[in-house]
Amino acid sequence: FTHMQYNVQRLGFAAVTKEDMVFFDGLLSGRLVTDLDILEASNVDWLRTLRGHSQVLLRPQTTEEVSQILRYCNDRNLAVNPQGGNTGLVGGSVPVFDEIIVSTAQMDNIISFNTNSGVLICQAGCILENLNNYLEEQDFIMPLDLGSKGSCHIGGNVATNAGGLRLLRYGSLRGTVLGLEVVLADGTVLNCLSSLRKDNTGYDLKQLFIGAEGTLGIITAVSILCPRKSAAVSVALLGCDSFERTLDIFKESKSMLGEILSAFEFLDHSCRAVVCEHLKLRNPLQESPFYILIETSGSNSDHDQEKLNHFLEKVMSCGLVTDGTMATEENKIKAIWALRERITEALVHDGFLYKYDISLPLERIYEIVTVMKDRLGTRAKRVVGFGHLGDGNLHLNIVAEAFDQQLLDSIEPYLYEWIAQHCGSISAEHGLGFKKKNFIHFSKPRAAVQIMQQMKVILDPKGILNPYKTLPSFSQ
């Protein structure tokens, strides 16, 4: 943990006292963790690059308990760190100093599911995969899917505005989330848990909390629109020779697969090497510079199959695709998805990671990987690129044997300047958290950041919610 320069000062929040502990213990009937070994898992982030020093982890079960916790913390000037599944990749989910961790782990009840409308209402701590399994039994699915589905909570997903593997088809949470219940810093319960598709009555306040990374309130319940489960799902893994060709294949897939296209992901050969080497996954194709994963989901397998076959014939016959395999059977589909979904996990085994999550205009999306490779030369063990090509989202990971400040200085701010120059975003879907908050100016004008800071003051005047995260400090 030595590499991460905590270039921040603890703000003047109160420290937790014995009396505070007694209050929380009474309120939560013992659902308070002070055991340092258990706390460790919540103080350290998923990438194991950050460590906070919280002495208290609270596990409320109800909105009322969250409300009482926040009212008390606000009165006492105690800082709070909301936490879901702790799978965030930008250090938003762990304390920086001794903030009290409020975990949604025990808020995991499904409140209702309406099979007419497809609207699911549930508590914020429901694990994404559990929700999806619950819905699948009723022929529905969640509108989002992430590699971290086994651990991440729906509240955390909404708080980060997570994108993931299905965004291409079902859109972002800004469209599928219909309502939220949020507890504000002073304990006020904001019940905007609507399940209506259309509701133009005043400002859409829920949007403020989507992607706010726990800095404006704690999300306690979510109302979300869920699509039907598709009767027919097929996955194709294709190899191709150059990035330009992956774009041509994307264009072709949009025109030939149209409404049944549900994912268009890509990885370069270094990602393939990392998953095969560290996770012992098998590559079903011959070696290729780039791989594309295409998923189709539709209601009629014959119809979908016919479309997919036509598409594959076309892209293979004109030489865009050099090799390919297709699956309709669940196990084979899972095995192909694993090559893409498990890259993050495999990279952790490869060395120290400099992780970037970038949006760029499609034509330039891979250029930055080549630029960084040339710039860093042998100082980087690997420079890999993969991501949600269909959404214009590249995951650039630079791997080194260990943390190296000089290497970091060669990457930043150069990389951020390059992204800004090319009209991209320095965070496509992971958020800013603790690690990236000071780079917000590369993607947002000063006036926008100022309005964000004013909104923070209105909703959380004492700044107790996730301090040191998302927004740069006022002086900047």
Q: Which is nearer to ligand 2HG, 222 or 275 (CB)?
A: 275
* Max CA pair span of the chain: 74
Helix (H, G, I), strand (E, B) or coil at 100: strand
Helix (H, G, I), strand (E, B) or coil at 110: strand
CB half-sphere exposure, 48, CA atoms < 13 A:
9
Query: Could you tell me the smallest distance in angstroms from the CB atom of residue 342 to ligand FAD?
Result: 8
In the chain, the N- to C-terminal Cα span, in Å, equals 26
Query: Could you tell me the smallest distance in angstroms from the CB atom of residue 387 to ligand 2HG?
Result: 6
- 395 interface partner picked from ligand FAD, ligand 2HG, none, CB below 5 to 8 A per type: ligand 2HG
Query: Could you tell me the smallest distance in angstroms from the CB atom of residue 250 to ligand 2HG?
Result: 17
Task: Find out whether 224 and 187 touch, Cβ atoms under 8 Å.
Answer: no
- 214 interface partner picked from ligand FAD, ligand 2HG, none, CB below 5 to 8 A per type: ligand FAD
Element (H, E) at 331: helix 330-341
Nearest to 292 by CA among 241, 218, 353, 364: 241
Task: Find out whether 34 and 5 touch, Cβ atoms under 8 Å.
Answer: no
Segments in 342-464 forming alpha helices (H): 343-348, 367-376, 405-411, 414-421, 446-459
- Answer whether the bond into residue 284 is a cis peptide, omega within 30°: no
Q: Which is nearer to ligand 2HG, 125 or 387 (CB)?
A: 387
Q: Using CA atoms, how far apart are residues 24 and 31, in angstroms rounded to an integer?
A: 8
- 397 interface partner picked from ligand FAD, ligand 2HG, none, CB below 5 to 8 A per type: ligand 2HG
Which residues have C-beta within 8 Å of that of residue 450, sequence separation ≥ 6? none
- 355 interface partner picked from ligand FAD, ligand 2HG, none, CB below 5 to 8 A per type: ligand 2HG
Q: Which is nearer to ligand FAD, 307 or 469 (CB)?
A: 469
Query: Could you tell me the smallest distance in angstroms from the CB atom of residue 303 to ligand FAD?
Result: 29
In 230-337, the DSSP E strands lie at: 232-240, 261-268, 290-298, 323-327
Structure tokens at 76: 């006492």
Query: Could you tell me the smallest distance in angstroms from the CB atom of residue 256 to ligand FAD?
Result: 26
Query: Could you tell me the smallest distance in angstroms from the CB atom of residue 88 to ligand FAD?
Result: 3
Q: Hey, how many other C-beta atoms are within 10 angstroms of the C-beta on 363?
A: 12
Helix (H, G, I), strand (E, B) or coil at 18: helix
Q: Which is nearer to ligand 2HG, 395 or 435 (CB)?
A: 395
Q: Which is nearer to ligand FAD, 83 or 322 (CB)?
A: 83
* Sites of contact with ligand FAD (CB under 6 A): 46, 81-89, 92-93, 104, 124, 146-148, 152-153, 155-157, 159-160, 162-165, 213-214, 218-219, 344-345, 429-430, 433, 466, 469
- 160 interface partner picked from ligand FAD, ligand 2HG, none, CB below 5 to 8 A per type: ligand FAD
CB-based closest residue to ligand FAD: 156
- 104 interface partner picked from ligand FAD, ligand 2HG, none, CB below 5 to 8 A per type: ligand FAD
Q: Using CA atoms, how far apart are residues 4 and 227, in angstroms rounded to an integer?
A: 41
Query: Could you tell me the smallest distance in angstroms from the CB atom of residue 111 to ligand FAD?
Result: 15
Query: Could you tell me the smallest distance in angstroms from the CB atom of residue 353 to ligand 2HG?
Result: 8
Element (H, E) at 191: strand 189-192
Token pair 């979904």: residue: 341
Q: Which is nearer to ligand FAD, 118 or 163 (CB)?
A: 163
* Sites of contact with ligand 2HG (CB under 6 A): 147, 343-344, 355, 387, 395, 397
Query: Could you tell me the smallest distance in angstroms from the CB atom of residue 253 to ligand 2HG?
Result: 19
Q: Which is nearer to ligand FAD, 245 or 430 (CB)?
A: 430
Q: Which is nearer to ligand 2HG, 180 or 396 (CB)?
A: 396
Q: Using CA atoms, how far apart are residues 357 and 337, in angstroms rounded to an integer?
A: 20
Q: Which is nearer to ligand FAD, 88 or 385 (CB)?
A: 88
